[in-house]
C-alpha cells in the first residue's frame, strides 16, 4: 500500500511520500536509543511541562488538525475537532497524574520484616524505545493515548502509522518536537507494513503496542514473542448493545444511533450488535431504524454531515460483502444496504434484522455504519448472543434493574460494561479487551505501567 493521502470523499490522491530507507531507519533507531539514556533521567515535572506545552500547541492547531484528519480518513469535521480536543485533555491528565501513578510503592512493615529486609519498595522504571503500530480510524487519538503515558513514564516512542494518514503521522512528530521534546524522544517512521518486522526485531526496540486488525496483531505478537518483548494489543471489536424491558427506549435508541455511526461506523468500540428483549424489540427497532434513516450522509467538511465516507475503497467493498452475504442468507434490510451513486467511498447507515449464526456478519466485524438487530427471549439468551462472538472489547447494557446489571457485569465477556450509556474511552479508565480483541490495557494507571520495568528494591538489615 503506498504511503499517501487520498481523500475518501472523492478518491483524489493529494500527496504521496517515499518510504524511509534502511539508512534513515537506522539513524532513527540510533537516535531513539541515545535519547532514551538521557530522557529516562528527566524528572516528572520536566516531562509534564513538555507534555502540557504539546497540549497547548495542539489546542492552537485544532482547526487545521481537524481538517487534516477529515481530509485523510473522512471523519466528520466536528468529530475531528473533538478528537483533537480529547488528545490535549489526555496529555494534561497524564501530566497531572503520572508522578502519582508511578510513585514508589512500599509494602506493610510486617511484610518487609518478614522478607528479611530493613526496607523494601517497588519502583516503576521505563523500558526504553517502544514501537507503536497505529491505525487510521482515530489517527491522532490512538497515538496520543500511547504516547502521553509512555513519555511520562520516561520511555521514547517510535511511530509506524497507517499508510493512509502520513500527514497526521508527521504532524505528531513535529508537535512533540515543537513542544520542546528532543528530536529522538518521539519519531515517526514512514515505512510500510513489511518493514515492521525488522524494526521490531531490533534489540534497541524494547516493546511494542499495536491497535489494528487481527492479522496485524498476530504478526506483531508472533515476532515479539520470538524476541521475548512485551506487547499490548487492541484489535477488533463487535460490541453488543443490550436493551432490556425496563430501559428508557427513546434514550436507548437515540444513543444506539450515535454508538453505531460514530466515526462513520469505523470504530472498534462502536456498538455493532443490537440485542433487544422480545418484549421491546419491535418498539426499539422502529425508533432505531428511524434514527438511522434520519442521518445526513455527505461531505465530511460540512458541519451538517452526520456520516462521511469510509476511509478506503477496500473498506467499503469489505462491508458490502458482509451485507450482501447476510441478505442472501435471509437477513431483512430495515434501511440502507445499497451503495450510493457518485464519487467517494460512501455507504448509507444500514440496519439488518433476522440475523443468524451462519451469516458472516454474525462472526466478523462490520467496520462501517451497519447495525445487526437480534431478538432475545430473556436475559439469559441476551447474554448468550452477546458472548457468541470471537471479540470481547466492550459492551453496552440498557436496564434499570440492578439485579440485571449485576448479571451482565458478571457474565459479559468484555473489557468494559457501560450501563445506560455509550462505550467511550477516558484517560482515567483502563481500556482494552479479551478474546480476539487483544490483551493488555491502555489509559489510566494500568496503561502507564504496561511499559514499565516493575522493579523490586530490597535493602538488607
Strands (E), 347-412: 350-353, 370-376, 391-392, 396-398
- Provide the pLDDT for residue 461: 77
Local structure of 309: helix, strand or coil: coil
Mind listing the pLDDT tens digit for each residue in 359-373? 999 999 999 999 999
If pLDDT is split at 50, 70 and 90, which confidence band does 109 have?
confident
| Confidence check: pLDDT of 350 > 80 | yes
SS3 content of the chain, % helix, strand, coil (to 5): 45, 20, 35
Distance CA 394, CA 431 (A): 9
Q: Respond yes or no: is residue 106 known to be catalytic.
A: no
| Confidence check: pLDDT of 151 > 90 | yes
Q: How many CB atoms lie within 10 A of CB 53?
A: 18
Q: Respond yes or no: is residue 268 known to be catalytic.
A: yes
When the pLDDT of each residue in the chain is averaged and rounded to a whole number, the result is: 97
Sign of CA dihedral 412, 415, 418, 421: negative
Active site residue: 33, 83, 234, 404, which one?
Answer: 234
For 327, counting Cβ atoms within 10 Å of its Cβ (0-12 exposed, 13-18 middle, 19+ buried), the class is middle
Active site residue: 33, 72, 268, 452, which one?
Answer: 268
Average pLDDT, stretch 191-196? 97
- Provide the pLDDT for residue 138: 98
* Residues 213, 235 contacting (CB under 8 angstroms): yes
Average pLDDT, stretch 273-283? 98
- Provide the pLDDT for residue 167: 98
Considering the entire predicted model, what is its pTM?
Answer: 0.97
166-178 and 141-152 helices, crossing angle to 10°: 30
- Provide the pLDDT for residue 1: 76
Distance CA 383, CA 381 (A): 5
- Provide the pLDDT for residue 112: 86
What percent of the chain is predicted at pLDDT more than 90?
Answer: 98
If pLDDT is split at 50, 70 and 90, which confidence band does 105 have?
very high
Mind listing the pLDDT tens digit for each residue in 111-135? 888 999 999 999 999 999 999 999 9
Element (H, E) at 260: helix 249-261
Average pLDDT, stretch 262-270? 97
Q: How many CB atoms lie within 10 A of CB 303?
A: 10
If pLDDT is split at 50, 70 and 90, which confidence band does 293 have?
very high
* Span of 20-29, 113-122, 318-327, 440-449 with lowest mean pLDDT: 113-122
Amino acid at each position: 500500500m503506498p504511503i499517501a493521502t487520498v481523500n475518501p470523499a472523492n478518491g483524489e490522491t493529494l500527496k504521496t511520500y517515499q518510504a524511509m530507507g534502511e539508512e534513515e531507519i537506522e539513524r532513527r533507531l540510533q537516535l531513539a536509543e541515545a535519547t532514551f539514556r538521557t530522557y529516562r533521567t528527566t524528572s516528572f515535572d520536566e516531562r509534564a511541562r513538555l507534555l502540557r506545552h504539546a497540549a497547548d500547541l495542539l489546542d492552537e492547531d485544532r482547526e487545521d488538525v481537524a481538517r487534516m484528519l477529515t481530509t485523510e480518513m473522512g471523519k466528520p469535521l466536528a468529530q475531528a475537532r473533538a478528537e483533537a480536543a480529547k488528545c490535549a485533555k489526555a496529555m494534561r491528565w497524564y501530566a497531572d497524574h503520572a508522578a502519582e501513578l508511578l510513585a514508589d510503592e512500599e509494602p506493610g512493615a510486617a511484610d518487609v520484616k518478614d522478607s528479611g529486609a530493613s526496607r523494601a519498595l517497588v519502583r516503576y522504571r521505563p523500558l526504553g524505545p517502544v514501537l507503536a503500530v497505529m491505525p487510521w480510524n482515530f489517527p491522532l487519538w490512538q497515538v496520543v493515548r500511547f504516547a502521553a503515558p509512555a513519555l511520562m513514564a520516561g520511555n521514547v516512542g517510535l511511530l509506524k502509522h497507517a499508510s493512509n494518514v502520513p500527514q497526521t503521522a508527521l504532524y505528531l512528530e513535529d508537535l512533540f518536537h515543537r513542544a520542546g521534546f528532543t528530536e529522538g524522544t518521539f519519531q515517526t517512521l514512514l515505512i510500510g507494513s513489511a518493514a515492521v518486522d525488522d524494526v521490531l526485531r531490533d534489540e534497541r526496540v524494547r516493546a511494542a503496542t499495536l491497535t489494528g486488525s487481527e492479522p496485524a496483531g498476530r504478526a506483531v505478537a508472533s515476532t515479539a514473542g520470538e524476541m521475548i518483548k512485551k506487547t499490548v494489543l487492541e484489535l477488533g471489536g463487535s460490541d453488543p448493545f443490550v436493551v432490556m424491558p425496563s430501559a428508557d427506549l427513546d434514550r436507548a435508541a437515540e444513543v444506539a444511533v450515535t454508538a453505531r455511526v460514530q466515526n462513520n461506523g469505523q470504530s472498534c468500540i462502536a456498538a455493532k450488535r443490537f440485542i433487544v428483549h422480545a418484549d421491546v424489540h419491535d418498539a426499539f427497532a422502529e425508533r432505531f431504524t428511524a434514527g438511522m434513516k434520519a442521518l445526513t450522509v455527505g461531505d465530511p467538511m460540512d458541519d451538517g454531515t452526520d456520516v462521511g465516507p469510509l476511509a478506503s475503497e477496500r473498506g467499503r467493498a469489505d462491508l458490502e460483502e458482509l451485507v450482501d452475504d447476510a441478505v442472501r442468507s435471509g437477513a431483512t434490510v430495515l434501511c440502507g444496504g445499497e451503495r450510493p451513486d457518485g464519487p467517494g467511498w460512501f455507504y448509507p447507515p444500514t440496519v439488518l434484522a433476522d440475523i443468524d449464526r451462519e451469516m458472516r456478519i454474525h462472526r466478523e466485524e462490520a467496520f462501517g455504519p451497519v447495525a445487526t438487530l437480534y431478538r432475545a427471549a430473556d436475559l439469559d439468551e441476551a447474554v448468550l448472543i452477546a458472548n457468541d462472538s470471537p471479540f470481547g472489547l466492550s459492551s453496552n447494557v440498557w436496564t434499570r434493574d440492578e439485579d440485571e446489571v449485576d448479571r451482565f457485569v458478571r457474565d459479559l465477556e468484555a473489557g468494559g460494561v457501560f450501563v445506560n450509556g455509550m462505550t467511550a474511552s477516558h484517560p482515567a479508565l483502563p481500556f482494552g479487551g479479551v478474546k480476539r480483541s487483544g490483551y493488555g490495557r491502555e489509559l489510566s494507571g494500568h496503561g502507564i505501567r504496561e511499559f514499565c520495568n516493575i522493579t523490586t528494591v530490597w535493602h538488607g538489615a
